[in-house]
Amino acid sequence: MSKKFNYIYEKLVDDKNDIIGHIAYSIYKQDKIDYITSKKEENLEIKNKILIPFHEISSTASSIEAYKIKAEIVMQAFFENTISEIYSDIEKETKENYTQLIKDTIKPLTSGFWKSFWAGLLSAFIFALVIAAIAFILQFQNSTINVTVDKNKTEKNN
């Protein structure tokens, strides 16, 4: 008895670069595995004659078209997922770069809190020392400061 071959691969795949056709063929193979598994669960011995109904149904024009449509849906979902991931990665990287650029731009313009705190404290201390030195000098020199205010001569005449 000669073995009858199913030429569904040639019906699904146009050439070696036909990605949709290869995906459609893998969907067909999964359906075939599911069919064989269901027959094994029915305790049937798997022989070529058991596969004849499956091959006849899967080889119809409508089944071939259905496999190709399923393959296109798989490809579309793959592309959408890939594009979504790429978009998310680009968006994340852009935000990180933008945030770093802003930090790098602002950092030279602002000093740190503690640096400003210590500078203010030091300047206040120096100012207090200068005032204390002036007061000390004036106290121990026995000098006095006289302030006189003269009115303008034109105001005196009135």
Is 25:9 a contact under the CB 8 Å cutoff? yes
What per-residue confidence (pLDDT) applies to 1?
41
What per-residue confidence (pLDDT) applies to 156?
53
* Cα–Cα distance, 38 to 50 (Å, whole number): 11
What per-residue confidence (pLDDT) applies to 157?
54
pLDDT per residue rounded down to tens, the chain (158 residues): 445 667 899 999 999 999 999 999 999 999 999 999 988 888 777 777 888 889 999 999 999 999 999 999 999 999 999 999 999 999 999 999 999 999 888 877 776 778 888 889 999 999 999 999 988 887 778 766 677 888 776 655 55
What is the four-CA torsion angle of 76, 81, 87, 88, rounded to 10 degrees?
A: 170
Q: Which residues contact 9 (CB under 8 A, 6 or more apart)?
A: 25
